[in-house]
Amino acid sequence: MTADAVSCTGLDYAFHDTKAVDGLDLTVAEGEVFGLLGPNGAGKTTAIRCITTLLPVPAGMIRVFGRDTAEDAMAVRRLLGYVPQQLSADANLTGRENVTLFARVFDVSRRERAERVAQALAAVDLTDAADRLAGTYSGGMVRRLELAQALVSAPRLLILDEPTIGLDPIARTGVWEHINAVREATGMTVLVTTHYMDEADQYCDRVGLMHRGRVRALGTPEELCRGLAEKRGTDTLPTLEDVFRDVAGSGLEDEGGDFRDVRSTRRTANRVG
Amino acid sequence: MSEAPAAPRTVSADIGLLLKPPQPRAGWRLLPARVVAMCAVELQKLSHDRTELYTRAVQPALWLLIFGQTFTRIKAIPTGGIPYIDYLAPGIIAQSAMFIAIFYGIQIIWERDAGILNKLLVTPTPRSALTTGKAFAAGVKSLIQAVVVVIIAALLGVSLTWNPLKLLGVGVIVILGSAFFSCLSMTIAGIVLSRDRLMGIGQAITMPLFFGSNALYPLSVMPGWLQAVSKVNPLSYEVDALRGLLLGTPAHLALDFGVLAVAAALGITAASSLLGRLAR
């Protein structure tokens, strides 16, 4: 039996008195594209940070391919490719240098480093721009560069935190097409957070709708939409956004996200232009 | 007229290597590999934009040109028989290296805000190795600055040694000193967590560290309390070693090296323990 890519059991995380993640139970199967959806402040990014070992959690709460993140963090990190919400490529380095840094810190041997970096850049169609400074890239190109940085270590689990935030529709489609193409070619598992319901509907095999630190609904986009249609007794199939409104409510009093969340989101959106 | 839907994108390039995880380095080989990776990034950045190198050369040049030449004429500071500008040059090398390192924490905060730090923390790199890599990267940056100041000093007629072994010693001392001051800066960054606060604290401690050392004048002319400050100030040990190596003045090289190595190790430990706070 193969282990699930991610398994969270009763995951809790609090910042001082504020519970960001509150008893999260979540399983991501190997090879699937799983979307963790929710508004700012739902706890998506905190959950991702716990899974990526950035935030300390007690043993027994998170396993990645069977390895406990608390007990074997280094082994878990070797299985991960991580693209954070911010535009995290270094603008003062070329595309190739950005990817080479991650090849080095993942111990790619000198013998195969240049070729592996070239393959990662080619996989996201950045070969021609590889020797330009990343500061000259468009927002969509930077996202693809970050994808190349994550791919260079051959991760089994790719984690993307709001990968298309601030991008125009064409660039968003471009980024998703590259994510899908790379997944097709490598068979890796993808865990992605987004608050764009249309993207989740189109690109995710399964989604978890998160609100106030918990997953409130879980399934394929179609299952969730059909479930709501049955609940309402209508023939018209609702959208994923309708499902989300149903589980989370839509009042202004439910708006989430602290100052830091919003600032980070806006900063990323500004940088991608 | 509607267009036919585009075929799904596929990866046409050969990506055979991307299907195979790299062989992990383990044990003692991990730390030097991470240090080399971080230093390579600093050198690559400098190769793309040398503006900082040139602008940072202005202040040490002015110290040597104005302060150094004027006080050489005044002969107010006892220097053990060497011209004051010669006495001053190692102090200015240490100062310019420290000025680069002491603001390194700002770069860490910028990397935190840009997501770069988080991404590095999700790699198989222990926090101590990441901090050590960053500390030595600051050292490399400072070393290049030190080379510029040595050249300026030589052009101004300072009699420096050109003995390769002694110059190698200079490099080691500058890197160790910068590693300590960059870790001090990263430690403060881990405590205050904001760029503005770090800027304020950096500016507040830089001048006391400089004036409370033997960079401008010998310990013997200081009041007792300042001598005590100077004795716990790693910059004094850096300057003492640089003077001994570059000018051949009496120095306590073993003590200087030992103090700087211990200070750098303590700095790396402190900064590593606070790195997690920056990631939250």
- Is B151 within 8 Å of A123 (Cβ atoms)? no
Residue A259, pLDDT score: 58
Q: Which CATH class is domain A6-272?
A: alpha beta
pLDDT band at A267 (very low <50, low <70, confident <90, very high): low
**What's the pTM value of the predicted model, to 2 decimals?**
0.90
Edge-to-edge strands, sheet with A62-64: A18-28, A6-15, A62-64, A67-68
Nearest chain B residue to A108, by CA? B22
| Mean local confidence (pLDDT), A147-169 | 94
Mutate to test the interface with B, among A15, A45, A104 (most CBs of B within 10 A): A104
Give, in order, the Cα–Cα distances in Å from A13 to each of A19, A58, A261, B147.
6, 10, 16, 49
Spatial separation of the C-alpha atoms in residues A108 and A96, rounded to whole Å: 14
Residue A252, pLDDT score: 44
Contact assignment for A78 to B33 by CB distance below 8 Å: no
Mutate to test the interface with B, among A13, A107, A142 (most CBs of B within 10 A): A107
Contact assignment for A123 to B15 by CB distance below 8 Å: yes
Contact assignment for B122 to A180 by CB distance below 8 Å: no
Phi, psi angle pair for A222, to nearest 5°: -65, -45
Spatial separation of the C-alpha atoms in residues A161 and A65, rounded to whole Å: 20
* Residues 6 or more apart in contact with residue B251 via CB below 8 angstroms: B240, B241, B243, B244, B245
Mean pLDDT, chain B cut into blocks of 10 residues (280 residues total):
60 86 91 95 93 91 93 90 94 95 93 93 95 94 93 93 96 97 97 94 94 95 95 97 96 97 97 89
ipTM for the whole complex: 0.89
* Residues 6 or more apart in contact with residue B66 via CB below 8 angstroms: none
| Residue A263 in this model has a pLDDT that exceeds 90 | no
Residue A250, pLDDT score: 56
> Across all residues in chain A, what is the average pLDDT?
90
Nearest chain B residue to A90, by CA? B116
Which residues, in sequence order, are bridge partners of residue A218?
A: A208
Residue A272, pLDDT score: 53
Contact assignment for A186 to B18 by CB distance below 8 Å: yes
**Where are the domains positioned within chain A?**
6-272
